[in-house]
Amino acid sequence: MCNTSCIQKWRNNIKQDKRIARSMKRQSLLIATTNKRKQAQIKHTLGSSPLKLIFLDDLEKKMPAPDEDADTLEGNAILKAKAYGDAMKMLTLAEDTGLFIDALNGWPGVYSARVADISDDQCTLTLEKMKDVPQGQRGATFKSVVAVYDPTDNSIFLSTGEKRGEIATDIAEVTDVHKKSIGHTFGYNRIFHHTDIDKRASELTYQEREENKHHRSVALHNVKYFLQNQYGGKHFVVPVAMIIRDGKILMNKRNDPHNPQFHEVWEFPGGTVEIGENIFENVVRECKEETGYDVEILEQLPFIRVKTRHIERFSYQIYLIPILCKVIGGDGVFSDDEVLEMKWYTPEEIPSLKLFPDDENMVSEFLGMIHDAISKNNL
């Protein structure tokens, strides 16, 4: 068992570990957009990828944006990715999005961003062109294309996401605060109606965009799997935090709508150890990010679970390391990007929850050990 003395010994090696880690750098991925809303969505979707995300604003060397003069979204995405990737000699991601309206023969399409400079004008011009088009004939498609360009071998990966809907007959109102925060990047969202959930694109929460397969979200999730397969490892060390309070263990309900087999599954807080990070730093960071709690590590339980998982085009193996913790601070406000719900359960209740395959066996098998650790640490 890794007790307090073991933990202290490991901590004494942290400085040496960090010196080694400094010589191991994560490969960077340049995100070739200055659009803040796109940046936020890309950061959220790809933040857990094996690559370090670098944005154009982070670069000391600045370069003018290339002319987007291709006649397809694919062409513009590739053009931007190659221009920035070759100039910066970096793996680069670029994206282009367009609104394709059936009744207007696909207009504005590839020219969507250049129809007008601000959202109000884009929407007004579109509705003027659509004023004589009756209901039932106002279908439209939002389409996003993401290109990933690697200048080391001139390779290009393309991913596409589409969302069908209809063009409304008016422009949805938003608050002044909303307008100020979004500005001209709001685009056509106020006139694009999601018929499957009866909402304008401008009204969707982040969770609704993910669950209803937002066009850019679909494209980015495909990119995420590509990056993991192409540039990431296939084996992951994942410390899992067993946070104990009053004899109960904190569990998170996972928010992962793009992976239905993992969505709404209960799990222990935790995540992959990053380069330059040891398991104790990882547990403290992941607990804070996911649960909002500050935790103190008490001990590592003396077993490691090895599991194989499959997600669409990506297979990997994880090594689960259970770490016993207690809450020492924080507000307990969980990250709704990753977590749908957070609850405390007794160890006996956990196996009856909807868990990842085999997790219930892990808890049941080591139930006595978990109870002993709870008792020993007065939790």
3-class DSSP string for the chain = CECHHHHHHHHHCHHHHHHHHHCCCCCEEEECCCCHHHHHHHHHHHCCCCCEEEEHHHCCCCCCCCCCCCCCHHHHHHHHHHHHHHHHCCEEEEEEEEEEEHHHCCCEECCHHHCCCCHHHHHHHHHHHCCCCCCCCCEEEEEEEEEEEECCCCEEEEEEEEEEEEECCCCCCCCHHHHHHHHHHHCCCCCEEECCCCEEHHHCCHHHHHHCCCHHHHHHHHHHHHHHHHHCCCEEEEEEEEEEECCEEEEEEECCCCCCCCCCCEECCECCCCCCCCHHHHHHHHHHHHHCEEEEEEEECCCCEEEEEEECCEEEEEEEEEEEEEEEEECCCCCCCCEEEEEEECCCCHHHCCECCCHHHHHHHCHHHHHHHHHHCCC
Active-site position among 96, 120, 170, 176: 96
Q: Give the pLDDT of residue 106.
A: 97
Would the pLDDT of 167 be above 60? yes
Helix/strand/coil percentages in the chain, nearest 5: 35, 30, 35
Q: Give the pLDDT of residue 70.
A: 95
Q: All domains of the chain, ordered by start, with CATH?
A: 28-229 (3.90.950.10), 235-376 (3.90.79.10)
Q: Give the pLDDT of residue 336.
A: 83
Opening angle at CA 43, ends 308 and 20, nearest 5: 65
CB burial string 296-310: b at 16+ within 10 A, e below: ebbbbbeeebeeeee
Q: Give the pLDDT of residue 183.
A: 38
Mean pLDDT is lowest, of 30-34, 226-230, 237-241, for: 226-230
* Mean per-residue pLDDT, 31-40: 90
Would the pLDDT of 233 be above 80? no
- 321-371 residue pLDDT tens: 999 999 999 999 988 888 999 999 999 999 899 997 767 777 787 788 888
62-66, 161-165, 304-308: range with highest mean pLDDT: 161-165
Question: What are φ and ψ of residue 100, in 5° steps?
Answer: -115, 110
More confident residue, 18 or 300: 300
User: What does the mean pLDDT of the chain come to?
Assistant: 86
Q: Give the pLDDT of residue 313.
A: 56
Q: Give the pLDDT of residue 312.
A: 58
State what percent of residues in the chain have pLDDT above 90: 56
d(CA 32, CA 359): 40
Would the pLDDT of 250 be above 60? yes
Mean pLDDT is lowest, of 106-110, 341-345, 370-374, for: 370-374
- pLDDT tier, 3 (very low <50, low <70, confident <90, very high otherwise): low
- pLDDT tier, 265 (very low <50, low <70, confident <90, very high otherwise): very high
Would the pLDDT of 225 be above 70? yes
More confident residue, 303 or 359: 303
Would the pLDDT of 236 be above 90? no
More confident residue, 180 or 245: 245
d(CA 251, CA 249): 6
Q: Give the pLDDT of residue 307.
A: 82
- Upper half-sphere CA count for residue 120 (Cβ side, 13 Å): 5
Regarding pTM above 0.75, the answer is: no
d(CA 270, CA 108): 44
Would the pLDDT of 212 be above 80? no
Q: Is 58 among the residues known to form the active site?
A: no
